[in-house]
Amino acid sequence: MDAQTPSPEPVPFRAPDGSFGGMPSHLVASVIAAASDVALVVDEAGVIRDMAIGSPELAEDGAAEWLGRRWEETVLPDSRHKVAELLADPAPGPAGPWRQLNQKTARGEIPMRFLAVSAGPGRGTIAVGRDDRAAAALQQRLIQAQQAIERERLRARQTESRYRLLFGLSREPVLVLDASARTILEANPAAERLLGRSDLVGRQIASLVEPGDRETLLGFLGALGATDDAPPARVRIAGSNAEVRISGTLFRQGGTAYLLLRFGDVGSSEADLETVLERVPDPFVVTDGALRIVDANGAFLELVGHARREDVAGLPLARFVGRPGIDANVLASQLAEHGAVRNLATIVRPRFGEPVDVEISAVLVDEHRGKVGGFTLRPRITDRARITAEMASPRSVEELTELVGRMTLKDIVRESTDLIERLCIEAALKCADNNRASAAEILGLSRQGLYLKLHRHGLARDPDGEGPKS
């Protein structure tokens, strides 16, 4: 039905004269005051001659100041014509219209609804009012909520439009699956071209590969649901027997699990290079132009103490490599100036444990997507490790054992101590670039003590460009 159903009319008392005849005026006044937030008695000239305030809020707002004033003077200008209409045509009973008025108080305007009822010939009008602030606040919140919903809907539509655009323009074949049913929910044009079908939506993913590879595919899909770092799988496309490389990830939305699958060409050099770098025993890292980690192989993850690539992706390389504020700046400047660095001695600061001495070789190249950096890290034998290795070598042991029988044990121990002391002094001078003062600090000796030991071991030469520096 096009016509709206009319609202039911108010039902008045059937016998008011019998029910309320002779009722005391103070009782009638109490009933009117209790049934309204404010009740006004307005004479024929529009002046408020009496009033009752049933709402504590209105009493605190100063509504009592309306008494003795013309009603139209107590409202805002936009409500004065409504007051005139209520007084000009008061309702004979409760069936009259309620009008929205904005009353003025000392604390500001108050939205109210009034019903004007005639008190009889020559007796003026009784106006019953209700405070509408709670309803107005609720209506305002409703409007704000509706506006917020509309903004979210607009944002969601814009996001979906961008997603659809990127999904459709992507050159990489991509499928979105229902994780439980293994059915295709979305497929971009690149996937349709790769799989040779335009009716992929709704199909089982297993039906698109050769029967002999379906078990491999299902095992890969199951691994995606159990871990975020499942290795890619290789399957053959049904009908064409072309081999493809599938990688993917699991995500949840609205309480439902989905799988995002990406397809790559197994025969491409990029895929082969990625596989080779993953199996390289030395740690390898790929960064962007700002030296933030984009990808890393398993050896690097093991070195820094992380389990997944996602844990390090996006972090600056300086978070793990180099002494803070020193090596990172040197590495960045060398790459910016020369484009490559070879065998730079530095350290790696793993998540747990002590720093590891490494040598790093790096290259920074420009691609169509921006600058890309590649870094190889190899363990470095420090001077202390080299000295320890030399002392533990079979040659040194043989030299010491040859002294047995020709010297006492006490003398052999002294010779060993002298050898260790000489090697330590030589290592300290090397670290200090032959600066004797710095070498003394490294060894915890005074400068005079170091000079005495240099003379004893025949290492004291005049600083003529070849000997130790003062």
- pLDDT tens digits, one per residue of 35-59: 788 989 999 889 999 888 888 888 8
- Of the two residues 365 and 327, the one the predictor is more confident about is 365
State yes or no: pLDDT of 323 exceeds 70.
Answer: yes
Residue 12: its pLDDT value, please?
Answer: 67
Query: How many whole angstroms separate alpha carbon 425 and alpha carbon 397?
Result: 21
SS (H, E, C) 322-362: CCCCCHHHHHHHHHHHHCEEEEEEEEECCCCCCCEEEEEEE
Query: How many whole angstroms separate alpha carbon 108 and alpha carbon 60?
Result: 12
State yes or no: pLDDT of 441 exceeds 80.
Answer: yes
User: By the 8 A CB rule, do 260 and 248 touch?
Assistant: yes
Domains of the chain with CATH codes: 25-131 (3.30.450.20), 170-270 (3.30.450.20), 280-380 (3.30.450.20), 384-456 (1.10.10)
> Out of 121-130, 322-331, 441-450, which region has the weakest mean confidence (pLDDT)?
322-331
DSSP letter string over 80-98?
Answer: HHHHHHHHHS-BSSTTSPP
Contacts of 20 (CB under 8 A, 6+ apart): 13, 28
**What is the side-by-side order of every strand in the sheet holding 293-296?**
293-296, 284-288, 370-379, 356-367, 340-348
Q: How far is CA 3 from the centre of its chain?
A: 53
Residue 1: its pLDDT value, please?
Answer: 46
Confidence category of residue 252, pLDDT binned at 50, 70, 90: confident
Query: How many whole angstroms separate alpha carbon 74 and alpha carbon 112?
Result: 12
Mean pLDDT of 351-378: 84
Provide the token pair at 230: 């499942």
> Out of 99-103, 171-175, 465-469, which region has the weakest mean confidence (pLDDT)?
465-469
Mean pLDDT of 90-103: 77
pLDDT in tens, 170-207: 888 899 999 888 999 999 998 888 888 888 999 999 98
What DSSP character marks residue 6?
A: P
Most confident region among 82-96, 274-288, 454-468 by mean pLDDT: 274-288
pLDDT in tens, 277-318: 777 788 999 888 888 898 888 889 989 998 888 888 889 998
Query: How many whole angstroms separate alpha carbon 168 and alpha carbon 183?
Result: 19
- Of the two residues 406 and 400, the one the predictor is more confident about is 400
Contacts of 196 (CB under 8 A, 6+ apart): 237, 239, 240
Cα distance between the two ends of the chain: 108
Other Cβ atoms within 10 Å of 87 Cβ, number: 20
**Phi, psi for residue 294 in degrees, rounded to 5:** -100, -40
